[in-house]
Amino acid sequence: MPDGSPTYEPGIRWNDALGIVARPTGGSYGTPVTEGAGFKYDEATLHELVKEWTDLAKEYVADLNDARRIAKAQPPGQEYASGDNAGVTRQSGSALMETLDQRITYCQNMAAKYIAALGKYATAEDHAVTVINQQPKGIA
């Protein structure tokens, strides 16, 4: 990186003063289940996953605003080459916008899935509390 600015890496926790402060590792979320594929997540992990997917969607929205400017590029001069170059640049900007829209939607959908899982988690917690509270009190 010639200009010294950080390169985006998913999941990296970056601090301008300290540099990289945390780097995720494979399987850093959830506990692997013994049967079949999948993971079990605790409530705190679900909240963190919602935040990460939501934050990533916000980053893509900011990128989308920049892509709009690319998609509106105007030629610097009146000659054919300038106009053709601007046309290619606009096509590239439009393709970038389409890709970013897809990524925003994907991130929002992932966050929604974890929000739904949080709802199921809360329902299961409420049910467990109800069952425990219905148990007969200890025998004296």
93/70 Cα distance (integer angstroms)? 5
Query: Is there a contact between 66 and 45 (Cβ–Cβ < 8 Å)?
Result: no
pLDDT in tens, the chain (140 residues): 455 655 555 566 666 666 656 655 544 555 555 665 566 777 888 888 899 999 999 999 999 999 999 999 888 877 777 778 888 999 999 999 999 999 999 999 999 999 998 887 767 666 666 667 677 766 55
Please report the pLDDT score of residue 19 as a whole number. 62
Residues 122/106, Cβ–Cβ less than 8 Å: no
